[in-house]
Amino acid sequence: MPDKKDKTKNETKGLRLYIRTFGCQMNIRDSELVCGLLGNAGYKMVEEPQDAGVIIINTCSVRQHAEDRVWSVIGAYKKEQLKRKGKLGEISIIGLIGCMAQNYKEQVFEKSPDVDFVVGPADIHKIPDIIDTLIKNKGLFEKKIWETDGLKRPEHIYHDIGYDSKKHTYVVISEGCSNFCSYCVVPFVRGALRHRSHKNIIKEINEALDKGVTSVTLLGQNVNSYQDGAVDFVKLLELVNSLKGLKEFNFLTSHPKDTTTDLFKAIASLGKLKKELHLPLQSGSDRILKLMNRGYTSKYYLNLTQNYRKIVKNGLLSSDVILGFPSESEADFKDTLNLLKQIKFNAAYIFKYSPRPQTKAMALPDDVSKAEKEGRHKTILDLQRAISKSKVIPQKSPLNAK
Ligand code: SF4
* CATH number, domain containing residue 278: 3.80.30.20
Does residue 275 share a domain with residue 219? yes
Does residue 336 share a domain with residue 305? yes
Q: State the distance from the centre of ligand 1 to the C-alpha of 43, rounded, in angstroms.
A: 34
* Inside any domain, residue 400: no
Read off the pLDDT of residues 251-282 as tens digits, 9 standing for 90 and up: 999 999 999 999 999 999 999 999 999 999 99
Ligand 1 contacts CB of residue 254 (under 6 A) = no
Helices 25-40 & 4-12 angle (0-180, nearest 10): 100
Q: What pTM was computed for the model?
A: 0.89
Read off the pLDDT of residues 323-351 as tens digits, 9 standing for 90 and up: 999 999 999 999 999 999 999 999 999 99
Residue 398 has pLDDT above 70, yes or no: no
Least confident of 45-49, 172-176, 243-247, 257-261: 45-49
Does residue 218 share a domain with residue 139? no
Model pLDDT, residue 83: 78
Among 96, 113, 147, the domain boundary falls at: 147
Mutation to probe ligand 1, out of 63, 179, 183, 185 (largest number of atoms < 8 A from CB): 179
Q: Which is higher by pLDDT, 369 or 142? A: 369
- In ligand 1, the atom with minimum distance to the C-alpha of 293 is 4
Q: Which is higher by pLDDT, 401 or 346? A: 346
Give CA–CA dist 298/283, Å, rounded: 8
Does residue 131 share a domain with residue 194? no
Q: What percent of the chain has pLDDT over 70?
A: 91
Among 117, 147, 177, the domain boundary falls at: 147
Model pLDDT, residue 9: 43
Model pLDDT, residue 135: 86
Does residue 55 share a domain with residue 182? no
Mutation to probe ligand 1, out of 24, 221, 257, 293 (largest number of atoms < 8 A from CB): 221
Model pLDDT, residue 3: 36
Q: State the distance from the centre of ligand 1 to the C-alpha of 222, rounded, in angstroms.
A: 7
Residue 6 has pLDDT above 50, yes or no: no
Residue 143 has pLDDT above 90, yes or no: no
In this structure, is the dihedral angle defined by the CA atoms of residues 105, 107, 111 and 117, taken in order, positive or negative?
positive
pLDDT band at 151 (very low <50, low <70, confident <90, very high): confident
Q: If you take atom 2 of ligand 1, which residue's CA is the nearest one?
A: 221
Helices marked H in 90-232: 99-104, 107-111, 127-137, 186-190, 198-210
Ligand 1 contacts CB of residue 279 (under 6 A) = no
Cβ neighbours for 383, distance < 8 A, ≥ 6 positions apart: 337, 340, 341
Model pLDDT, residue 12: 55
- In ligand 1, the atom with minimum distance to the C-alpha of 222 is 3
Q: State the distance from the centre of ligand 1 to the C-alpha of 6, rounded, in angstroms.
A: 40
In this structure, is the dihedral angle defined by the CA atoms of residues 388, 312, 177 and 163, taken in order, positive or negative?
positive
**Domain housing 328:** 163-389
Read off the pLDDT of residues 225-235 as tens digits, 9 standing for 90 and up: 999 999 999 99
Give CA–CA dist 217/222, Å, rounded: 14
Ligand 1 contacts CB of residue 180 (under 6 A) = yes
Model pLDDT, residue 147: 81
Model pLDDT, residue 4: 37
Q: What percent of the chain has pLDDT over 90?
A: 77
Residue 139 has pLDDT above 70, yes or no: no
Does residue 228 share a domain with residue 168? yes
Residue 397 has pLDDT above 50, yes or no: no
Number of domains into which the chain is organized: 2
- Specify whether the CB–CB gap between 356 and 62 falls below 8 A: yes
Give CA–CA dist 142/153, Å, rounded: 28
Model pLDDT, residue 43: 92
Mean pLDDT value across residues 135-162: 80
Q: State the distance from the centre of ligand 1 to the C-alpha of 108, rounded, in angstroms.
A: 24
Instruction: Output the average pLDDT for the chain.
Output: 90
Ligand 1 contacts CB of residue 359 (under 6 A) = no
Ligand 1 contacts CB of residue 187 (under 6 A) = yes
Give CA–CA dist 113/311, Å, rounded: 55
Residue 5 has pLDDT above 60, yes or no: no
Q: If you take atom 4 of ligand 1, which residue's CA is the nearest one?
A: 181
Residue 10 has pLDDT above 90, yes or no: no
Does residue 193 share a domain with residue 126? no
- In ligand 1, the atom with minimum distance to the C-alpha of 190 is 7
Mutation to probe ligand 1, out of 24, 172, 184 (largest number of atoms < 8 A from CB): 184
Q: State the distance from the centre of ligand 1 to the C-alpha of 340, rounded, in angstroms.
A: 21
Does residue 384 share a domain with residue 249? yes
pLDDT band at 165 (very low <50, low <70, confident <90, very high): confident
Give CA–CA dist 75/71, Å, rounded: 7
* Inside any domain, residue 279: yes
Does residue 342 share a domain with residue 200? yes
